[in-house]
Amino acid sequence: MTSKDNSIPKDKLASLFFFYVSMNHEYLSKPFVEFFRTKYNLNRHQMAAVVYLKDFKSLTMTQLSEKMSISKQQASQLVKSLVSKKLVTRHIYEENRRVVFIEPTDLAIQVLTEGEIMFLKHAMKKIEQSLGDDTEKFEASIRYLSDVIPKIDFSFKDNE
């Protein structure tokens, strides 16, 4: 690297990125999923499905299975478990009875909203305690990553 080149070598960037992905899972995703498991008795698939449905308002069974990268059979079992918990409803499309729409119930929206508020209140307290004056720097970093990461398609294609 020359003195003018401020870029990170590709292997270093790859290591940092992999560390970020692992860290995101370990320190953010796992506690979030664990919180919803213990507080609301939702496993990670149930929670993810309800989050998708909250965001999209309504999905077909096929769309839900594709978003979650699970089979249609697994999606069907997942939705059945959520119906029994009164967190989603199923609606058959009249023009094509093979199409089933899934929608979150008011209870699901309430559970997610309440859970998000509780989790975020706890997380914000921990961030302020841990970072103090660096909270603004942390916020700027989160904003930057939140802007950049969705612009990159990380999915694998067979021909790549």
Residue 39 lies in a domain: yes
- Report the number of distinct structural domains present in the chain: 1
Confidence class for position 86, pLDDT limits 50, 70, 90: very high
Task: Please state the φ and ψ torsions of residue 85, each to the nearest 5 degrees.
Answer: -90, 0
Residue 156 lies in a domain: no
- Residue 48's contacts (CB-CB under 8 Å, 6 or more residues apart) are 68
Q: Is 57:72 a contact under the CB 8 Å cutoff? A: no
Confidence class for position 13, pLDDT limits 50, 70, 90: confident
Domain holding 105, by residue range, is 11-151
Is pLDDT above 70 for 3?
no
Residue 6 lies in a domain: no
Distance CA 43, CA 45 (A): 6
Structure tokens at 19: 């560390």
Distance CA 69, CA 6 (A): 38
Residue 70 lies in a domain: yes
Is pLDDT above 70 for 160?
no
Residue 158 lies in a domain: no
- What CATH number did the domain enclosing 66 receive? 1.10.10.10
Q: Greater confidence, 98 or 66?
A: 66
How much is the average pLDDT of 14-18? 87
Is pLDDT above 60 for 2?
no
Confidence class for position 9, pLDDT limits 50, 70, 90: low
Is pLDDT above 90 for 140?
yes
Is pLDDT above 70 for 4?
no
| Average pLDDT score over the chain | 88
Residue 66 lies in a domain: yes
Q: Is 118:112 a contact under the CB 8 Å cutoff? A: no
DSSP H helices, the chain, are: 10-23, 30-40, 44-56, 61-68, 72-84, 106-131, 135-148
Residue 127 lies in a domain: yes
How much is the average pLDDT of 67-87? 95
Is pLDDT above 60 for 134?
yes
Q: What is the pLDDT of residue 130?
A: 93
Residue 4 lies in a domain: no
Query: In degrees, to the nearest 5, what angle opens at C-alpha 31 toward C-alphas 28 and 37?
Result: 135
Q: What is the pLDDT of residue 8?
A: 61
- Residue 59's contacts (CB-CB under 8 Å, 6 or more residues apart) are 52, 53, 67, 101, 102
Is pLDDT above 60 for 53?
yes
